[in-house]
Amino acid sequence: MKARQAKRLARTISAISLLVVIGAGATSISTAADQLSSGESNYTQLVVAPGESLWSIAAMVAADGQIAATVADIVAVNNLTGADLSAGMRLLVPIKS
């Protein structure tokens, strides 16, 4: 009887974890498309998804392979003190050109 309860609990935890990851990804996609409301900005807001890094985000938005320069721009605009990002963190990133 206890083994059955343990399996049920493990399945429930797995399902909840999967829903959290899916929700974080959906939030990231929807907020990445939103422009900042402050007029003519060259930046958009992005929510960091689990597993994303500064380099992976910069690679998505960098123009002509300028990934290192885009990383430096993201760090400067967001006043980051290091390269560590947390899932759910909101960042300003340059609009892909």
Which tens digit of pLDDT belongs to each residue from 20-41? Answer: 666 655 554 444 444 444 445 7
Q: Is 67 a residue whose pLDDT tops 70?
A: yes
Place of tokens 């939103």: 34
**What is the residue-averaged pLDDT of the chain?**
78
Q: How many CB atoms lie within 10 A of CB 51?
A: 11
- Which of the two residues, 53 and 17, has the higher pLDDT score? 53
Q: What is the largest CA-CA distance in the chain?
A: 63
Q: Is 69 a residue whose pLDDT tops 60?
A: yes
Question: What is the residue range of 28's domain?
Answer: 2-94
Whole-number pLDDT of residue 89? 92
Burial class (CB in 10 A: 0-12, 13-18, 19+), 69: middle
Judged by DSSP in three states, 8 sits in helix
Could you give the number of structural domains in the chain? Answer: 1
- Which of the two residues, 94 and 96, has the higher pLDDT score? 94
